Structure 1
Amino acid sequence: MKEQQIEEYEISSCTMFLKPVVYGSKIYSQIYEVEDCFLSPFKPLDIIKNSCDYFGVDYESRKRGTRKLTGYNRKNPIAIEPTNHIFFFPTASPSIPECIWLSQAHIKDYRRAGANQTLITFHNKQSYLFPVSCSTIETQLLRTALLKSTILQRIEHKGRKLTYLLHVPKALQASESTHEYAGEFSKGEE
């Protein structure tokens, strides 16, 4: 894949991972999508934060929400846009420059490739080597799955409640309408 330079980027359902890369004296991001690769002058965490903002909730709120829903305090996965199943997790503390962000939805398989190396295969059949232990990837995938299932269950539950309220079963509705009574009362009063 040929890498294209871009100025702005919002994470989408096509984004597989964001990897920091040293570019001169700055840290840029290599952005890997299913069929494209981009180079952005922003750090991976900045792209994560901007993408959260783009979808209407700031990064710090997403982080607090993850803590409340999962109880995790470190290396929290982030629900960037839950209704479109866009959940990312960090490979290390997001504050350190080496942190890579991966999309849980795109990971097909992973295996240990060395002491602190994991080979991840994505659904598009591409594989990349990451400088992180296999146990860290496994832990982060499980944390992200917990966050995702908790949020999606709540969304589904609210949707069922709303559907129920909008479509009250006929058995609960009155079997006669009030306009029938209105006509009878007027006749009786005459």
Structure 2
Amino acid sequence: MDKKRRIGSYIVSFDTFLLLPVVKGNKISTRVIERNGELNVPRKPIHIVKKSCNYYGGSLQNSTNTAKLAIGKRHKTPIIIAHDFGVPYIFLPTMSPNSEQNSWVSYSAIDNIEPDNLGCTLYLENGLTLKFDISATTMFRQFAVATLLEKNFLKKQRQLNRPSNFDFPDED
């Protein structure tokens, strides 16, 4: 991994894999893990998620409501932060999104989830391995719900691109 950098502002991209809270005294910052490095942002993970949703033309509330409409009301609903050419970028919370201990994990960055004595181990597509104090069952559930959200999104994209069956009347 590259040396850690510290920046004041951050927007999630397809290279963002994890947003991890870092507590020092009474301040919370975010350790951002990307495909090819990591950096520290002096903002809470929830702030980065909200700002990213706004940047891409939505809001966290709208992303949450859209996800709930698509997959039903669920605890710790994964959200689509943005999409590019029909590919959704889904993040799943490890805890309640408003919890200061919540981490946000990119659904597409997860290669595997394995149980371990303290919770679970996440294997990311860039080869990084991280341990979480969350049961593997909970992480598997979050991953499965994110899969349902992705499937629903892709279904809607196909419907959007499907030719209409509407017949126009013949012109005389």
User: Is structure 2 residue 126 aligned with structure 1 residue 95?
Assistant: no
Q: What CA deviation, in whole Å up to 9, does each residue of 1:74-100 have, x standing for no partner?
A: 201010113342100001101111101
- What is the rounded CA distance, in whole Å, between the counterparts of 1:92 and 1:75 in structure 2? 6
Query: How many Å apart are 1:156 and its aligned residue?
Result: 1.7
- What is the rounded CA distance, in whole Å, between the counterparts of 1:145 and 1:19 in structure 2? 22
More helix by share: 1
More strand by share: 2
- What is the rounded CA distance, in whole Å, between the counterparts of 2:74 and 2:124 in structure 1? 27
- What is the rounded CA distance, in whole Å, between the counterparts of 1:95 and 1:59 in structure 2? 11
On the 8 A contact 1:21/1:29 being kept in 2, the answer is yes
Q: Secondary structure at the match of 2:163?
A: helix
- What is the rounded CA distance, in whole Å, between the counterparts of 2:114 and 2:157 in structure 1? 33
Amino acid at match of 1:147: L
On the 8 A contact 2:11/2:52 being kept in 1, the answer is yes
CA RMSD, Structure 1 to Structure 2 (Å)? 2.1
The residue that corresponds to 1:6 in the other structure is: 7
| Structural mapping, 1:2-151, within 5 Å | 2-82=3-83, 83-114=86-117, 116-151=118-153
Identity, % of aligned positions: 27
Of 153, 156, 159, which residue of structure 2 is paired with 1:157?
A: 159
* Comparing 77-86 and 134-143, the one that deviates more: 77-86
Q: What CA deviation, in whole Å up to 9, does each residue of 1:36-79 have, x standing for no partner?
A: 10101111111111111011011101111111111123201010
- What is the rounded CA distance, in whole Å, between the counterparts of 2:152 and 2:144 in structure 1? 12
- What is the rounded CA distance, in whole Å, between the counterparts of 1:161 and 1:90 in structure 2? 36
Q: What CA deviation, in whole Å up to 9, does each residue of 1:102-155 have, x standing for no partner?
A: 0010100110111x4211111111111111110110000001010111011101
On the 8 A contact 2:88/2:153 being kept in 1, the answer is no
Structure 2: gaps (5+ residues): none
On the 8 A contact 2:29/2:44 being kept in 1, the answer is yes
Structure 1: gaps (5+ residues): 179-190
Structure-1-length-normalised TM-score: 0.82
Structure-2-length-normalised TM-score: 0.90
Equivalenced residues, count: 169
* Rg larger in structure: 1
Q: Secondary structure at the match of 1:120?
A: strand
